[in-house]
Amino acid sequence: MSVSRSEVTVGMELPSKTFSITRADLVTYAGASGDFNVIHWNERVAVSVGLPNVIAHGMFTMGLAINVVTDWAGGPEFVTDYSCRFTRPVVVPDDEVGASIEVSASVLEVTEEGTAIVSLSAVCEGQTVLGKARAVVRLA
């Protein structure tokens, strides 16, 4: 069930969440998405093209971030639009810890049409990795 319009206010903070990404996660995502670009699994190639190391798939990062909104909204079926810009790559070290992405979100607007416009923030190592991230949520 979707969040009730009466429960949503401008400025409302959604529960934040921290996601971990390991190299194993990148391999799993590559298999599911079909994106086997070498920069997502081969450190030598990633560095040779100017990256600091292997990086996470942008769509994987974007997909993790929206979980903060879908958890709050009651499910992915209530998100009617989602967009962002990839501002920095998420570097994933070859260790047991990987990378951490901290995602927070807040309500920017509640429309007369019964939707909430939510702004997301995704940060890795103190750097914003998704810019202008916005989701539109259909309210009950």
Rounded Cα–Cα distance for residues 60 and 122 (Å): 12
DSSP 54: -
Amino acid in the structure at residue 85:
R
Q: What torsion do the CA atoms of 50, 48, 95, 84 make, to the nearest 10 degrees? A: 40
Question: pLDDT tens across 25-47, in order?
Answer: 999 999 999 999 999 999 999 99
Task: Write the Ramachandran bin of 67: left for phi over 0, alpha for psi from -120 to 50, otherwise beta.
Answer: alpha
Question: pLDDT tens across 11-28, in order?
Answer: 999 999 999 999 999 999
**Domains by residue range for the chain, with CATH:** 5-21+57-138 (3.10.129.10)
pTM of the model: 0.94
CB-CB contact of 87 with 131 (8 Å):
yes
